[in-house]
Amino acid sequence: MFNVHQFRQQFPYFNQPDAVIYLDNAATALKPQALIDATVEFYQSAGSVHRSQYDEKNTALYEQARVQVKKLINAESEQAVIWTSGTTQAINTVANGLIPYLQPDDEIIISEADHHANFVTWHAIAKKCGAKLHILPILDNFLIDEQVLVSALNARTKLVALNFVSNVTGTQQPVQQLIEKIRQFSTALILVDAAQAISHLKIDVQKLDADFIAFSAHKIYGPNGLGVLSGKLSALEKLQPLQYGGKMVAFASKQDIRYAELPYRLEAGTPNIAAVIGFNAVLEWLEKWDFEQAEQYALHLAKQTEVRLNNYQNCHLFSAPQPSTVISFVFENIACSDLATLLAEQNIALRTGAHCAMPYLARLGVPSTLRLSFAPYNTEQDVQAFFTALDKALSLLD
């Protein structure tokens, strides 16, 4: 059985006397000791990676991280694991890398459920290339309408970008089912934004059949400033590099430049070595825990909280159609920022605002929401502390 107390002990954050009740895990997860130890050990070493014989140990750890990511998502090979600074850069690497293949009047499909990392990027690329941008509406249950998606597909559709799990409502799109439909009616490339999915779902990239998938390490207990772009080698090979410089060159002369093979062709410059080595330690550490039991525990806390919030007369929840660790809600006639401020003063950390998803919030008909998001290190005491603080805040705002 999953033991929350043993899991919680892995995170030094909770040993701090000023630690708050942390309920903003959809934004970023807390860091385990395994990450901290590996990061410190790297910074106490000398050198870089892939530069000389003396840095072989760090180079081995760096490349071992690709093996761990390959295992995590069942990637096609280590070559299909590209390091980026995060989901945003991963999506931008795909978007800018496909510019040579996009012509005026080509079509790109996204949805109003997308995070700005997806929504804004493809909006800008469509404008730059003269392509047509289709923005799919979502149904009242926050799912993409499959029939509308199919009707939008045609011979000019070059890319479809899908959000796997929403950071606003926690809604999980039936991505595999949607990809199967896209494959039936189009030859378009498919990108999946898995930033929120990576810490909650077992992802099999090859089974999913997406051409590209992107996620950030910090969503799954890893370091900030590190992300992964993966997918099919045949699709990754199509990408023009987003950046040029060191390490991504196989040969350079005054007359000719030849780029290295994947993954290095898309990884110009000195990488974020400490983050990659730290992420390797995190993924090794995660293998010691039962992923599904941990997720079920976090879902149980979220469900408890949702049931209790439903008992507040003026509270409106934007509930996902399936169990989720994310809860977005508003109170009628109370500004989200006012309530968040009073909760923060009582050491409750949650998120308020548009969550980098303004088109989604417009669809919901609100300018902002409050958002709670749970992780397996949260406890029932955290839930009770939130409601105690909420009741006090509401009494002050009444």
Could you list the active site residues?
Answer: 356
d(CA 97, CA 242): 6
3 state DSSP class of 255: coil
φ, ψ dihedrals at 307, nearest 5°? -60, -45
d(CA 121, CA 94): 10
SS3 annotation, 111-138: ECCCCHHHHHHHHHHHHHHCCEEEEECE
Q: 105 in the Ramachandran plot: left (φ > 0), alpha (ψ -120 to 50) or beta?
A: left
d(CA 146, CA 143): 9
d(CA 247, CA 29): 31
- Say if residues 180 and 133 touch (Cβ distance below 8 Å): no
Residues recorded for the chain: 398
